[in-house]
Amino acid sequence: MSEQIPLSFTLNGKPVAAFVEPRKSLADFLREDRALTATRLGCEMGTCGACLVMMDGAPAHACLVLAAQAEGAEITTLEGQSEDALMADLQAAFVDRNAAQCGFCTSGMLTTALAYVRQGGTPDRAAIRDALSGNYCRCTGYEAIVDAIAGVAEAAMHKEAAA
């Protein structure tokens, strides 16, 4: 085992200082060292999207980022989004549409959906599917997930128009 290195970054709004093995991925650090298990590990090669977290405000694969690379960054996991109103709307829409079956992909789906709606994404189904192209779900066939995101995107558009 190689020597551990010091690491400090902001995790869910709070400073973190730790020692970490260089080969440890950010996903493993979150799950094993911080017990933040909303971040899932599927493929561990950047394909399935189950491990997405917000890194400096944009979705990133926690399996493709070494914990050491998070030095100085601002990382937000799904646990850290629970106070976010838009995330609450997305979670409610996922529940309404039964958009989670086994739930393994859901954290990643919600992270992608949050970025999509925040960036002004429209309810257009093709655009939503394009945004979700890096998130695999092996249960639902995606229909319910797209429905849920489209509903929230539509509501967000109306809210913006009214404002």
Q: Residue 92 or 134: which CB sits closer to other proteins?
A: 134
Amino acid letter for position 6: P
32, 130, 143, 154: which one binds other proteins (CB under 8 A): 130
Show contacts with other proteins in window 26-85 (CB under 8 A): 28, 44-46, 49, 52, 55, 58-61, 63-66, 68-69, 71
Place of tokens 């030095």: 71
Nearest to 42 by CA among 118, 109, 91, 127: 109
Report the alpha-carbon distance of residue 115 to residue 161 in Å, rounded: 19
> CB 113 → other proteins: shortest distance, Å?
11
Q: Residue 130 or 143: which CB sits closer to other proteins?
A: 130
Q: Say if strands 58-61 and 74-76 run parallel, antiparallel, or are unpaired.
A: unpaired
- On the CB side of 20, CA atoms within 13 Å amount to 25
Show contacts with other proteins in window 87-106 (CB under 8 A): none
Contact 117, 152 (CB under 8 A): yes
25, 39, 77, 91: which one binds other proteins (CB under 8 A): 25
Positions touching other proteins (CB under 8 A) are 1-3, 5, 21-23, 25, 28, 44-46, 49, 52, 55, 58-61, 63-66, 68-69, 71, 112, 115, 129-131, 133-134
